[in-house]
Structure 1
Amino acid sequence: MNAPNVTQWLVPDWPDLPAGVGVLCTTRRGGVSPAPYDDGQGKGGLNLGTHVGDAPKCVERNRDILRAELPAEPVWLTQVHGTRVLDAGVVHHDAEPPIADASFTRERGVVCAVLTADCLPVLLCDAEGRMVAAVHAGWRGLADGVMEQTVTAMRDAGAGELMAWLGAAIGPNRFEVGPEVLDAFLRRPGVDEAAIRSAFAPFGLKPGKYFADLYALARIALVGVGVRRVWGGDFCTVSNSGRFYSYRRDGVTGRQASLIWLK
């Protein structure tokens, strides 16, 4: 089998990333999975999700392809759209993936990872390059405080000034939601109501519907806990069928990974 063309993957444009931090985001390209988990162009897809119906042997091969580009096996999570944050350094790879939606580490060579197919992956590190984290931030997690919980966990563990990069997610012109999503954010204690409302654009053709901006909502959460150096937010999974998996677009589909580690 030919070696994967990792240039098809996404290396975050993160100008102030410390030299000792490694980052990588996969796309749907460069793997072996057949449709509907393929690359969108008739070739094998790099689906990394074990829970989406893809053949286990394909997912295993795809994870082997990814593993060859990393210092260690990623710390995979069982993501549930919650707010639990764990220390990736204490996870045993021979155990079932723990239930959590974010992980952080202070240990070199430990790879934090999240899987997404429209939800927002957020990668964080401190300015000294001593700690990193990966967050699965769908709207439920953001509304319930997964960003704040992750930042708190990192600071409690000794992180300095934090910065973040926002990966590929459903874009602000594609994420149609109902009023219950807006209400979930407005119910949060101490919320900046004007800022939250600015992240929801009324969808004129359907009264009571909105287009929600996950990127803006993540930035609001990060700024609220003092994280002001935020990059990324430039990709839409739904709009780019040849590069990204999208659950909203396709229903049955694969998952791409966003990963960060200390070198």
Structure 2
Amino acid sequence: MFSWRAQTGRVTWAFTDRHGGVSSAPFHSLNLGGHVGDDAADVESNRAAVATSLGLPRDRLLFMRQCHGREVAVVDGPWNGHEAPAVDGLVTATSGVALAALVADCTPVLLADGEAGVVAAVHAGRPGLLAGVVPAAIQRMRDLGAREIKAVVGPSVCGRCYEVPEELRDAAAEIAPASVAVSWSGTPAIDVAAGVVSQLRANDVAVQWVPGCAREDSSLFSYRRDGLTGRFAGIVVLAP
């Protein structure tokens, strides 16, 4: 269920994998994405299982309607029947609420200041990297009193596996030079996670980078590898 999980003071950090759920192929088995064509009841069962593993009621595991932008929402509890916001970052200062960012090649970024009691989950794909969704989330956290922010960057498609047209790599180079990469075959590529890490460090955030390439690791979902597929998640929780 979890490819990586850790506890730091009041903060639980985790990245799920594709095992331990009920979804059928090609989403087998722990697909957490509700927008990919999987059976809705299976997705909900998978999400409930993850919430239970984290020791939380299902309604306190919050997902976004991700849109590859830079918008970030501050939340304080369950959606209570309302539609999740169309954002790519969630921030909370409320304990006992799990924030989730769904990915299948994009970079999941988890942020926390345990002393201040502020956490965030961010979905950072190539558009989000260039739009500045990570710095936007950091600023919202600081607006809520965060000062010593730590980040855990999860597995995503690596630069060697993310081939792009040269003009896209050049555009990324202007915003995040560290993201410039070369693919396995010597063509232009982008390392989104490396770009995210550079933005975190530029904003004085301590970084832990969990290794792994989604495309190369069959235990993770990868759109680049499989096309029609599920989503795994980065999740952060602030304990009471």
**Which residue in 2 is equivalent to 1:121?**
108
Deviations 1:195-228 (A, max 9, x none): x1x532345856xx4122122101111122221x
CA RMSD of aligned residues (A): 1.9
Displacement of 1:18: 3.2
1:211 aligns with 2:198: no
| Residue in structure 1 matched with residue 19 of structure 2 by the alignment | 29
Q: 2:202 corresponds to which residue?
A: 224
Which amino acid is 1:27 matched to?
D
CA drift of 1:151 comes to 0.6
Encode CA deviations 1:90-144: one digit per residue, 9 max, x unaligned. Answer: 6623111110000111111111111110000000111526111100000110011
Per-residue deviation, 1:60: 1.6
Identity %: 36
- What TM-score results when the alignment is normalised by the length of structure 2? 0.91
The equivalent of 2:237 in structure 1 is 261
Q: Counterpart amino acid of 1:232?
A: W
Q: Where do 1:1-263 residues align within 5 Å?
A: 8-12=1-5, 18-38=8-28, 45-70=29-54, 71-72=56-57, 73-89=60-76, 92-126=79-113, 128=115, 130-188=117-175, 196=177, 198-203=178-183, 205=185, 209-227=187-205, 229-241=206-218, 243-263=219-239
Q: Which runs of 5+ in 2 are unaligned?
A: none
TM-score of the pair, normalised by structure 1: 0.84
> Is the alpha carbon distance of 1:30 and 1:187 closer, same or farther for their aligned partners in structure 2, counting shifts above 3 Å?
same
Count of residue correspondences: 236
> Larger Cα Rg: Structure 1 or Structure 2?
1
Change (3 A) 1:214 1:94: same
Q: Tell me the alpha carbon deviations over residues 133-165 of structure 1, each in whole angstroms, 9 at most, x when there is no partner.
A: 100000110011011101111111110111101
Q: Partner letter of residue 24 of structure 2? A: P
- Give the Cα–Cα distance (whole angstroms) in 1 for the partners of residues 77 and 17 of structure 2: 28
SS at match of 2:37: coil
Report the alpha carbon displacement of residue 234 of structure 1 after superposing the two structures with TM: 0.4
Contact kept? 2:116, 2:147, Cα under 8 Å: no
> What is the aligned partner in structure 2 of residue 4 from structure 1?
none
